[in-house]
Structures are given as C-alpha cells and as structure tokens.
Amino acid sequence: MSDSISILLARHGETYWNTTQRLQGHLDSQLTVKGQNQAKKLAQTFANYGVKTVLSSTLPRALNTAKVYANNRVIPLITDPRLMERHFGVWQGQTMASLKQQKSYHEVFYQFSSTAPPEGESALVAARRFRQALAQHIMSLRSDLNISKAVLPPIGVVSHGEVLRCFLASIDSRWQQANKNASELFVNGGVTALNFNRQTQEFSLC
C-alpha cells in the first residue's frame, strides 16, 4: 500500500489585472491570450504527470485555467471556494505600487502572520482553510474510488499565488520569511510539487 499521493499545485494563467499588478483577491479579471496559452502548457504538464482529477478555486481565472485540461481529458473537475485566493479586503482592486505606503504591506505580502488587510484575511486564516479543503478532498477521493490499497494518481490543483504562498508557509517554515511576494514566487501556469501522506494527513514539499 502506498501512503503517499503526489499533488501538483498550480497558479492560474495570466490575467489582465496581473499585467498591471492590480491586486485581485476575491475579485476577478479575464485571462489574457498569454494566460490562455499558459493554461494549455499547464494542461500538458498535468498530462505528463498523469493527473486524473483536478481541484480548482471557484474564481473564473482559476476555473477557466483548470477547464483546459479537465474538459479535454473528460476527467473530474472539483471546485471549492476554500481554494480561492486570499481575501484582501479593501485593498482589492488597488495596484501593488499604491499599497506599498501601507504600514502592514511587507508583513501581509512577505510574512506568515495573523496580520490582515482591513476587512481581509490573514495569512494564517487563508492557509488553514486551503489546507483543510485540500486534505478533505484527497481523503474523499480515496474513499470514493475505493483505492485504499492502491496508488492514487497525481492530483492537480489550480489556485492562486498568495494563498499558495500562505499554504506552503504553513507546511514548511522556510516559506515563512520569504524574500519575494507571491507573484515573484509563483509564475502564472507554473507548478509546485508536493506529497500528501494518507496515514498522517501531512503535506511535504518534494
């Protein structure tokens, strides 16, 4: 019996707001042509790994990225709002340049703490709900497919840069004092691989 499951975490394709460095959070903007091409390249990466199930944020930029692979392969595409981007409250819709004057700017975007933007989520809260959703779906897939004694194929997850940064900081302390923000850490359409242990229900980076 294999206790380890491979997870491929991916950031959605480039959006129009990405090109102007405007903070999206729970707001949304459409994929650019470049973003659509990144979604196609991500689909090929998922295919190379043999991904049979895709989990996605419910935000259109992530969902449309995920659909490029899932619809073409006719495989399960499971959406969950807990996989959405971190909520940035009143900062959403503003440019990153305009936010640099905020006192908590560096702590919000570069550290892993309980500090939240006004009316928004802290890194700790965002990481917790993302982690709970991911673990829950993985364990449910094992039960639904009745493969407790077999190897579960790799799972693809399409989400967002900042919530991925928060989640990875929650499982690996090296990510807790990053010298780069989420956009610098996660390229659009890029993949980060990790493992999930079904016995301990713990995540670890590959």
Q: What angle do CA 203, 161, 94 make, to 5 degrees?
A: 150
Q: Which two tokens stand for residue 190?
A: 């890029």
pTM for the complete prediction?
0.94
Residue 87 assigned ligand-binding role: no
- Helix axis angle, 60-73 to 33-49, nearest 10°: 50
Residue 202 assigned ligand-binding role: no
Provide the CA 124 distance to its chain's centre, in angstroms: 15
Which pLDDT tens digit goes with each residue over 21-78? 999 999 999 999 999 999 999 999 999 999 999 999 999 999 999 999 998 888 999 9
3-state secondary structure of 153: coil
Question: Which active-site residues does the annotation give?
Answer: 12, 85
Residue 106 assigned ligand-binding role: no
Strand-pair category, 77-79 with 53-56: parallel
Which pLDDT tens digit goes with each residue over 149-166? 566 889 999 999 999 999
Residue 180: pLDDT band by 50, 70, 90 thresholds? confident
3-state secondary structure of 101: coil
Residues 6+ apart with CB under 8 A from 27: 17, 92, 93
Distance CA 100, CA 105 (A): 6
Q: What is the pLDDT of residue 146?
A: 52
Distance CA 54, CA 153 (A): 11
Q: Which two tokens stand for residue 203?
A: 């995540």
Residue 1: pLDDT band by 50, 70, 90 thresholds? very low
- For the cut 70, the answer to whether the pLDDT of residue 143 exceeds it is no
Residue 15 assigned ligand-binding role: yes
Q: Which two tokens stand for residue 16?
A: 């129009």
Go through the domains of the chain in sequence order and give each one's CATH number: 9-153+161-188 (3.40.50.1240)
Residue 165 assigned ligand-binding role: no
Q: What is the mean pLDDT of the chain?
A: 93
Rg (CA), the chain: 17
